[in-house]
Amino acid sequence: MSHTKIARMGRYVVFYLAFLGIFSALSPYIIPKAFYDQIMVVLYGSQIATEMIPKQFEWPIQNMLHRLGGTLYMVMGVLQFNKTFRARRPRVHRWVGRAFILLSFTAAISGGTMAYTHGMAGTVELVPSIVFGVLMILFTARAYLSARKREFAQHREWMIRSFSIGLGVATIRILYGVGIATTSLTPTQLIGVTFWSGWLVTMAAGEWWIHQTRPARRLDVEAQPVSPQGA
């Protein structure tokens, strides 16, 4: 498969996952409450929908920080991986990159704390949330340090790994929807399965993307020697 086709396919996948992530984050605010509550009952069952999900809104600052911060994270992520944006607006790209790093840390930390304080499925949700949240922080930190050292090839690859975890929240929802329609697992069981599988699948896709685009990336780095995040 040519690099052009790979790049086009990657853009479509990233845009779709980012859009799904944004819609999921904002759905409590943009969907009428009665309809939203009905959707939650269909997806998660009456117990989780009526007892666990409402608890999220008892922590309004934490909830809004995760949802609104996650929305900005997705938008900035799409921009940061857009080659045209990087080439035409390198200074803006660097400043957006700094904000994106902070939002990455915020998303990882708030996601873990939400799973701990008012998660929907207990330990089966908490453990993968913490594991992949820690990985997201580590990958983002490695990306930042690589940019500071002007190791732009490594910077790009670590940012892809970090963003793949962010996009994984959308993959989780896709797999959960498929699971609800095709399996007899309970919502709690399905949450446990899809949290692990959704993040692992998206991380594997990120590694595949790195491998497939590595030669094209070297040419791009040579043409654009300015640090994406800035020193």
**Total domains in the fold of the chain:** 1
Q: Is residue 206 part of a domain?
A: yes
Contacts of 150 (CB under 8 A, 6+ apart): 227, 231
Query: Among 6-20, 32-46, 69-83, where is mean pLDDT lowest?
Result: 6-20
Q: Is residue 227 part of a domain?
A: no
Residue 220 has pLDDT above 80, yes or no: no
Domain that holds residue 87: 3-222
Tell me the average pLDDT across 58-75.
Answer: 89
| 229 occurs within a structural domain | no
Residue 15 lies in a domain: yes
For residue 30, tell me if it sits in a domain.
yes
Compute the distance between CA of residue 74 and CA of residue 79 in angstroms, rounded to an integer. 9
Give the integer Cα–Cα distance in Å for 223 and 231: 19
pTM listed for this prediction: 0.85
In a domain? residue 47: yes
CB contact burial 141-175 (16+ within 10 A = b; e otherwise): ebbbebbeeebbeebbbbbbbbbbbbbbbbbbbeb
d(CA 31, CA 28): 6
Domain annotation covers residue 89:
yes
Going by C-beta distance under 8 Å and a sequence separation of 6 or more, which residues neighbour residue 45?
A: 186, 187
What are 86-145's pLDDT values in tens digits? 888 888 888 999 999 999 999 999 999 999 988 888 899 999 999 999 999 999 999 999
pLDDT, one tens digit per residue, over 31-66 is 999 999 999 999 999 888 888 888 888 888 888 889
On whether residue 231 sits in a domain, the answer given is no
